[in-house]
Amino acid sequence: MDTPLVGSSPSIQKIREIIRLVSQDTSLNVVITGETGVGKEVVARVLYELSPRRKKEFVKVNCAAIPDTLLESELFGVEQGAFTGAHRKRKGKFELADGGVLFLDEIGDMSFPLQAKLLHVLQSGEYSRLGSETNITSNTWVVSATNHDLKQRILEKKFREDLYYRLNMIQINIPPLRERPEDIPELITHYTRHYQDKYPDRVIAPLSTHTYGRLCDFSWPGNVRQLVSVLQRILLIGCDDETLSEILHEHPAPTTPDATPANGNGLVEKLRAMAADSPEAMETFSLKAIRKNATDLVEKEVIAKVLDRTNWNRTHASKILKISYKTLLTKIDRLNISEPN
């Protein structure tokens, strides 16, 4: 198979099993969901490569990248003279994908009027080129992908409910990379080999233990796409620790409810608790005092997490935090951060 689905996490193993079953019945349209960069097109291509349709074409259309005025002709084709500038007949993506797979990426961004025309094709099994009254029978397996919650789009009147059920006969959801960190080492290994094979004339040094650990510990808000992009940059250009930190923080990780409670309530509650321990403090809390206490609370939490991730390797932790070893020891003592037993 040309397109591997990399990973051995339970979620990826489950997706592999769904693909194995679904790929043998191409009468069922599939919707692949997940955040940007998780690998929805990879799953679509694996479906295609395992299906009986693999000897025909895999045709991709990015519904978000093509203006609505052009997308209809892109999908269904154009008859000569259909409009000004249509000097010759042109096949659409449905026709090019006949017998194969039509991959509709970012289906959630398709306009409402065009959704109605797509629904007609799925219901009738026929379509016609723009400017033609001749119907063409469709023999295409439609696989779609979206990073939107289509049910929410239906509630917002931005996606047709009837089209949803026509497209979503089978749904494959790909979890974000931060929810399956056990897949990261395999992805690093796979794409390192990929770039070594792709650039045989270049000496691509293996990742250092430190860099490898940083990549495995990062939350990857841009998912697999971001990991591959960063890895390519490191392998082909090389980078020191400071550059790696800059690369990783070009795309900060999304906050989670646990990490950053709404409206800063977690920090507020901690400050209130401190005041409760000393009731008179509430009367004398100046902005300067609040700022200092807030800074201490945040610093303590961040330092404790970094120490925990580095197994209390203070030298490694100080480099990640970009402070001196001596400063780190001072903060550990002042903030009363204790090593777990």
Q: What's the CATH number where 214 sits?
A: 1.10.8.60
Q: What is the pTM of this model?
A: 0.71
Residue 46 is assigned to a structural domain of this protein: yes
Q: What is the pLDDT of residue 5?
A: 94
> Is residue 25, in this structure, part of any structural domain at all?
yes
Q: Kindly state the percentage of the chain with pLDDT values over 90.
A: 57
Q: Which of 71-85, 211-225, 270-284, 306-320 has the lowest mean pLDDT?
A: 270-284
Residue 40 shares a structural domain with residue 149: yes
Does 19 lie in the same domain as 167? yes
Tell me: pLDDT of 162 over 60: yes
> Is 110 found in the same domain as 87?
yes
Residues 208 and 144 in one domain: no
The 10s digit of each residue's pLDDT in 187-221 is: 999 999 999 999 888 888 888 888 999 999 999 99
| Average pLDDT score, the chain | 85
User: 314 and 266 in one domain?
Assistant: yes
**Residue 317 maps to a domain:** yes
For the chain, how many structural domains are there in total? Answer: 3
pLDDT over threshold 60, residue 258: no
Q: Which of 113-122, 196-205, 281-290, 298-307 has the lowest mean pLDDT?
A: 281-290
Q: Are 9 and 180 in contact (CB under 8 A)?
A: yes
Residue at a domain's end among 219, 248, 277 = 248
Residue 318 inside a domain? The answer is yes
Q: Are residues 237 and 308 in the same domain?
A: no
Q: What is the pLDDT of residue 92?
A: 94
Residues 14, 158, single domain; the answer is yes
Q: Does some domain include residue 254? A: no
Please indicate, yes or no, whether residues 213 and 319 belong to a single structural domain of this protein: no
Q: What pLDDT score does 300 carry? A: 87
Average pLDDT of span 152-160: 96
| 235 vs 33: which has the higher pLDDT | 33
Q: Mark whether 328 and 291 lie in a shared domain.
A: yes
One domain, residues 134 and 211: no
Instruction: Indicate the residue among 175, 194, 216 that finishes a domain.
Output: 175
Domain that holds residue 311: 262-334
Residue 4 domain-assigned?
no
pLDDT bin (cut points 50, 70, 90) of residue 265 is very low
| Residues 184 and 216: beta-carbon distance below 8 Å | yes
Regarding whether 199 and 108 lie in a shared domain, the answer is: no
* Domain stop point among 116, 145, 175: 175
